[in-house]
Amino acid sequence: MKKYSFLSMTLFVSLLSVHGMSQQEKYRNKDVPVDERVNDLLGRMTLDEKIDLLGGTGFASKKNDRLGIPELRMSDGPLGVRWGKSTAFPSGICLGATWNPALVEKIGAAIGREVKGHDRHVLLGPCVNIARIPQGGRNFESFGEDPFLTSRMAVGYIHGVQSEGVAATVKHYACNNQEYQRMFVDTKVDERTLREIYLPAFKSAVQEAHVLCVMNAYNKINGSFAAENTFLLKEVLKDEWGFTGLVMSDWGAVHSTIPTARGSMDLEMPFGEYLNRASLTKAMEQGVVKESDINEKVKRILRVLFSMKLFEKPSLGDSSLLGSKENRMIAYEAAREGIVLLKNEDHILPLDFSKLKSLAVIGPNAATCRTGGGGSSMVDPIEASSTLEVLKKEYSRTINIQYAAGVYLGGDTPPIRSQFLRTENGEQGLLGEYYSNRTFDGKPSFSRIDSMVNFDFGENGSKSDFPKYNFSVRWTGKIHAPKTGEYTLEVLSDDGIRVWLDGKLVIENWNDHGPEANSFRLLMEDQKEYQIRIDYYQHGGGAVAKLGWYSPQKDPISEAVQAAKQSDAALLFVGTAPNIETEGSDRETLILPRDQDRLIQEVLKVNRNTIVILNTGSPVLMDPWVGQVKGVVQAWFGGQEMSKGMVEVLSGVYNPSGKLPITFPHSWEDCSAYSSYKKKDSVTEYTDGIYVGYRHFEKKKISPLFPFGFGLSYTSFQYSDLNTTVEQQGNQLQVEVSLSITNEGKREGAEVVQVYVRDVAPDVDRPVKELKAFKKVMLQAGEKQVVRMLLKKDAFSYYDDGKKAWTLRPGTYALHVGGSSKDIRLTKMVEVQ
């Protein structure tokens, strides 16, 4: 009996120990549901540990060694991974121009693989802000002006990224539609406009793509900063849409402790400047912040970590995923498919290169591959051949190819070489003094002789033991010219820079910004030395500093004209560059910069077989020359593989199928934001309401230069046999649209069939028509296909401000089907109840 009792007690104690161990390790058990693991771990954390988790470490969340909580490592996107060399993928606007969500999903998956290749966990993309202002500095990152098109692209992109076990971050929530005063501007916008134009892509990202992370914007929305905007973050995002992931701030977008802590922003980046132990403990002692506020934020961070299985495998690193053949092929396919043929008079394209004996390749973008715009999305490409290089490789054996830049864009100036720079001790170059702070305080961390000022530190810093951000550099020495003449000194910087010559301040751009070029013109005498000092600071993101000059030479436009005059055809590669279209600032004008309009006009005078290729992230004005040129191609910023795709379009190897995701206007005055943009300091009023992009042009009956959805092909398509089937039961509505489309040409091609919905007799103000469905169809020569698309209730609904709800008005609706917002081929009326 005693023996039995002893054994029973031993067994009982053993079972109790196992049970206790199980309870102790519950959050470590991968078979336990995520929310149970979250709650178990939360209960084991001290208050200080919870608070620590709310602030980042630069590009990661904090880890907790005691409890084994891994960090959440992040990298900028959305055009690839900005963390060392990576594949540079096409810009968002280029992806939008493909009108191909399935292809965009492949792009997302490829970027996800590269995130893992750099052993990061979170991609800071996609960007889904609507292109309201045509000169917006970050338009190139997003998918265009239409909320439905943007939603479809966003869902595809996020599905792709997260299919690779990487978290996507949809941004910037919300109304970050301009860079001008973006850090503090107050966007005044009514709720209907928010719901119909600026929020749909975010809603789709949450409810369809199940995005894991959301990044709030810098700006205010109706008086409240995005990071502490209760209506957007709590009432809409979390309560109404059911978002369960984490909300992180944009870098430096938090402005308060108490409103932010009590609100629904979860993770302050890059550091916990406001959400930290000192500030939050004090707020809790005062009773204005509760521990439950902290717990809610921590739970969301933990939920993402558990959902991504990072407790089991905190490292995703696999360097073989970087720049793979598969990833490069997908980047190439998307760059090619996003190219839009805007004009093709006399069928000048495709060019028959077998009949050309000479070719002029001209323009500031011919010898440089414009992979993307400037700022945090800029990727350091693994390899990026220029179109000039590809053309020479393909055709230089049979065609005499002449190159002339014609004009130089800001930032393209060649760096001043060491033989024209001298330190006070007579060494070639300049003395560089590097400070580990932004204000040149104390002694330099190190000094060295820099042969040139020509640096792009990216996210990896200048030296392994030197800060990646929050540093400053002072370069001093002397400069002399090789011969007497007028020189233009130019500095490219990201962030602040100042330049002194002989003690006189000649260039000053002392603020945070993306890559920007500033210049100063002066007469320099042969061999005379001038004292030079350059002060530079870097705050966050990438670090760029470059000193260059233009030396005296004959007019570069005249050189381009001469090349065109001697050639059978001329290819003019014009547009913008990363320091012109960039995060941190909007373009001042829609005019092509640096005298490119004159370059085009002068070339057209001597060569009628001229084709203009535009590398831009948003519209430019073309009226001064578009009537005289035969061919115009919109190539966007197409990533590192764009040049090969561009040559295939020009030569006819590939039939272009891109369509504009944004309206191209004749003038800035024609655009919806013209009357409100920059009209008030620190405030922007969305007086255009729901009438953004083509909605505005149609309401005001303004003819655009090129309409939304427009794009030519080397073949032609016929639309016929439009039919509709309406199924309505209770609150459910489904309208099937079917039609036939035929390729009437002699070569295969793809057409984007677009469906626009119009309320025939609205009882509230509604657009003339709105995009509600589209499908890209590939057809062989002579082939006919039946295309089917579904429209549901939301395709016919509008947001009723009074009811605070989406509303369907029973009545007659017109379904317009065609190849663009202006090119409507078929129309059918349907009745809905």
Residue 358 and residue 275 in one domain: no
Return the structure tokens found at 312. 């089991």
Is residue 81 included in any domain, yes or no? Answer: yes
pLDDT score at 463: 60
Residue 502 and residue 558 in one domain: no
Tell how far CA 347 is from the center of its chain.
34
Q: Which pairs count as long-range contacts for 43-52, CB under 8 Å and 24+ apart, including other chains?
A: 45/298, 47/281, 47/291, 47/294, 48/277, 50/291, 50/294, 50/295, 50/298, 51/272, 51/275, 51/276, 51/277, 51/280, 51/281, 51/294, 52/272, 52/277
Q: Please list, in sequence order, all residues whose beta carbon lies within 8 angstroms of the beta carbon of residue 40, skipping any fewer than 6 positions away.
A: 26, 27, 32
Closest CA to 589 of 671, 521, 690, 507: 671
Residue 120 and residue 66 in one domain: yes
pLDDT score at 527: 83
The upper half-sphere exposure of residue 146, i.e. CA atoms within 13 Å in the direction of its Cβ, equals 28
Residue 764 and residue 653 in one domain: no
Is residue 303 included in any domain, yes or no? Answer: yes
Active site residue 250: yes
pLDDT score at 6: 42
CB atoms within 10 A of CB 676: 17
Q: Which residue range(s) make up the domain with 277?
A: 31-310
Return the structure tokens found at 248. 């992180």
The helix/strand/coil state of 824 is strand
How many Å apart are CA 608 and CA 568, to the nearest integer?
Answer: 9
Cite the beta strand spans of 338-411 per DSSP E: 340-344, 358-362, 400-404
pLDDT score at 470: 87
Strands 246-248 and 213-216: parallel
Backbone Cα Rg of the chain: 29
pLDDT along the chain (833 residues), means of 10: 43 42 77 98 98 97 98 97 96 98 98 98 98 98 98 98 98 98 97 98 98 98 98 98 98 97 97 98 97 98 98 95 97 98 98 98 97 94 97 98 93 88 96 96 96 74 72 97 91 94 96 86 92 94 86 82 98 96 95 96 98 98 98 98 98 98 98 97 98 98 98 98 95 96 97 98 97 98 98 98 96 98 98 94
Residue by residue, DSSP assigns 432-489 as EEEESSTT--SS-SEEEEESS-EEE-TTS-SSTTS-SSSEEEEEEEEEEBSSSEEEEE
How many Å apart are CA 795 and CA 310, to the nearest integer?
Answer: 39
Residue 809 and residue 676 in one domain: no
Residue 14 and residue 37 in one domain: no
pLDDT digits (tens, 9 = 90+) for 579-628: 899 999 999 999 999 999 999 999 999 999 999 999 999 999 999 999 99
CATH code of the domain containing 53: 3.20.20.300
Residue 30 has what DSSP assignment? T
Which amino acid, one-letter code, is at 826? L
Assess contact for 116 and 317: CB atoms under 8 A: yes
Instruction: Please give the angle made by the CA atoms of 355, 358 and 364, to the nearest 5 degrees.
Output: 125
CATH code of the domain containing 508: 2.60.120.380
Assess contact for 185 and 682: CB atoms under 8 A: yes
Among candidate residues 250, 412, 535, 759, the one labeled active-site is 250
Residue 665 and residue 810 in one domain: no
Residue 71 and residue 196 in one domain: yes
H or E element at residue 40: helix 34-42
Closest CA to 335 of 90, 127, 8: 90
Is residue 534 included in any domain, yes or no? Answer: yes
For residue 215, report the phi and psi dihedrals to the nearest 5 degrees: -110, 130
The helix/strand/coil state of 37 is helix
Residue 81 and residue 173 in one domain: yes
Total domains present in the chain: 5
Q: Which among 483, 509, 539 is the end of a domain?
A: 539
The helix/strand/coil state of 829 is strand
CATH code of the domain containing 652: 3.40.50.1700
Spatial strand order in the sheet of 749-759: 770-779, 749-759, 811-818, 824-832
CATH code of the domain containing 768: 2.60.40.10
Which amino acid, one-letter code, is at 292? S
Residue 731 and residue 765 in one domain: yes
Is residue 677 included in any domain, yes or no? Answer: yes
Residue 276 and residue 357 in one domain: no
How many Å apart are CA 261 and CA 451, to the nearest integer?
Answer: 49
Is residue 318 included in any domain, yes or no? Answer: no
Closest CA to 296 of 247, 359, 241: 247
Is residue 227 included in any domain, yes or no? Answer: yes
Q: Which pairs count as long-range contacts for 161-164, CB under 8 Å and 24+ apart, including other chains?
A: 161/108, 161/109, 161/111, 161/112, 161/115, 161/123, 161/125, 162/108, 162/112, 162/209, 162/210, 162/211, 162/212, 163/105, 163/108, 163/109, 163/112, 164/109, 164/112, 164/113, 164/115, 164/116
Is residue 704 included in any domain, yes or no? Answer: no
Residue 570 and residue 512 in one domain: no
pLDDT score at 410: 78
pLDDT score at 22: 47
Question: Dmax over Cα atoms in the chain, in whole Å?
Answer: 113
Is residue 378 included in any domain, yes or no? Answer: yes
pLDDT digits (tens, 9 = 90+) for 621-655: 999 999 999 999 999 999 999 999 999 999 999 99
Q: Please list, in sequence order, all residues whose beta carbon lies within 8 angstroms of the beta carbon of residue 450, skipping any fewer than 6 positions away.
A: 429, 430, 431, 432, 475
